[in-house]
Amino acid sequence: MLHRPSHPFRASDTSLVGSPSGRLRGRIARLNAQYAHSGATEVFTAAMSSFKNLAMVSSFGADSVVLLHLAAQIDKDIPVLFIDTELLFDETLRYQVRVSRMLGFTNVRVLRASDLHKNDPGNQLHKTDPDACCHLRKTVPLNAALGEFDGWISGRKRHQSGTRARLNMFEVEDSTQRIKVNPLALWNSDDMRRYMNATQLPRHPLVAKGYPSIGCEPCTTPVAEGEDPRAGRWRETEKEECGIHFVDGKMVRSGEPT
């Protein structure tokens, strides 16, 4: 297991946080400068060494196994948060169990909304208000789980969509002062494919059926050749993000700055 510092920085230390443009943002800026051209393993290791009490959030989606594999080489005890919206593909649920066991994670936490029976009793909210559905099923349970952590690690990458084109390795959420780390920010689809081939990691079974990006079953469709990999997510809507990723306290939207 990776050794954790005895006196690590915490996002809750007011002496370091200060104003939004204060010491915390300065620290994040220095990390981004230092690791701007570093590999994913180096970024991941730096995050784990620099900050105490990090979790990793994984959808166990199309290429999630890459970040999961990197994490398993560093610390199999890291909390892995998996949001079960109860609208996921059966293939995703089976894949999550298979990969978790294969990589030997000891602390996988399955998150679910606690009040679906009251707020979406017929499981139809995704049709009338997809933002509200994502908030109910993803954002609320994730925020509740992240309350005990100083930061989290995600698998977002710049190539995935225009809203992620300027994604940094290290971020700080304005609303929570929580750290977010994106070790794969610079990776493209070829990088992911080469890594999976080299390590012989199992791919999500829906990838072979034309799903390069996989979310909830009602809101995900196959993608045609030449389309953006995320074109199948909330197709024919302006929605691009589920709501768990924010910039300056706001959900990322098509056309908004990142």
- Do the Cβ atoms of 10 and 50 come closer than 8 Å? no
Helices within the chain (DSSP H only): 14-17, 23-34, 40-50, 64-74, 90-103, 116-119, 125-128, 130-134, 140-146, 189-199
Dihedral sign of CA atoms 65, 95, 235, 144 in order: negative
- What percentage of the chain reaches a pLDDT higher than 70? 80
The pTM score is 0.81
Q: What is the pLDDT of residue 12?
A: 42
- Do the Cβ atoms of 122 and 28 come closer than 8 Å? no
- Do the Cβ atoms of 130 and 124 come closer than 8 Å? no
Amino acid identity, position 121: P
Q: How far is CA 195 from CA 50, 67, 117, 182, in A?
A: 26, 10, 42, 17
Query: Does residue 9 have a pLDDT over 70?
Result: no
- Do the Cβ atoms of 73 and 66 come closer than 8 Å? no
Round to whole Å and give the CA distance between 85 and 245. Answer: 16
Q: What is the pLDDT of residue 122?
A: 92
Instruction: Copy the structure tokens of residue 180.
Output: 């977010």
Q: What is the pLDDT of residue 254?
A: 28
Higher pLDDT pick, 8 / 56: 56
Q: How confident is the model at residue 233 (pLDDT cuts 50, 70, 90)?
A: confident
Q: Within 10 Å of residue 165's Cβ, how many Cβ atoms?
A: 10
Task: Please give the positions annotated as active site.
Answer: 242
Instruction: Report, as an integer, the average pLDDT of 62-86.
Output: 96
Instruction: Report, as an integer, the average pLDDT of 196-207.
Output: 94
H and E: helices and strands count for the chain: 10, 8
Q: Is 141 left (phi over 0), alpha (psi -120 to 50) or beta?
A: alpha
Round to whole Å and give the CA distance between 134 and 125. Answer: 9
Tens of pLDDT along 16-51? 444 544 788 899 999 999 999 899 999 999 999 988
Q: How confident is the model at residue 240 (pLDDT cuts 50, 70, 90)?
A: low
As a CATH number, domain 14-204 is 3.40.50.620
Q: Which of 109, 115, 122 is nearest to 137 (CA)?
A: 115
Q: Which of 116, 158, 156 is nearest to 135 (CA)?
A: 116
Q: How confident is the model at residue 202 (pLDDT cuts 50, 70, 90)?
A: very high
Q: How confident is the model at residue 225 (pLDDT cuts 50, 70, 90)?
A: confident
Tens of pLDDT along 93-149? 999 999 999 999 999 999 999 989 999 999 999 999 988 999 999 999 999 999 999
